[in-house]
Amino acid sequence: MPVEISLQLLEALHARWVVLLRSLSDTELQRTFIHPDSGVITVWQSIGVYAWHGRHHVAHLKMVR
């Protein structure tokens, strides 16, 4: 399967995340939950981790290209 397909899927997924995350209020972003590895974190912190993680994977895919 061409790497471009994976990159397009990630781009579409991230576009959906942007719509959802922009709809959250400050109160919702400060809600906490228990992450299996990190313990108690806020939604906002989770977004930061996901953003880094997503960029990390995209960089790997681009190297394969």
Q: Which residue would you say has higher pLDDT here, 61 or 16?
A: 16
Q: Which fold would CATH assign to domain 3-64?
A: Four Helix Bundle (Hemerythrin (Met), subunit A) (1.20.120)
Percent of the chain with pLDDT over 90: 71
User: Is pLDDT at 46 greater than 90 in this prediction?
Assistant: yes
> Which tokens in the block code for residue 15?
């576009």
Cβ(63)–Cβ(1) under 8 Å? no
Q: Out of 6-15, 27-36, 41-50, pick the least confident.
A: 6-15
Whole-number pLDDT of residue 60? 87
Q: Other CB atoms closer than 10 Å to residue 24's CB: what's the count?
A: 14
Whole-number pLDDT of residue 57? 86
User: Is pLDDT at 64 greater than 90 in this prediction?
Assistant: no
- Cα-only R_g, the chain: 14
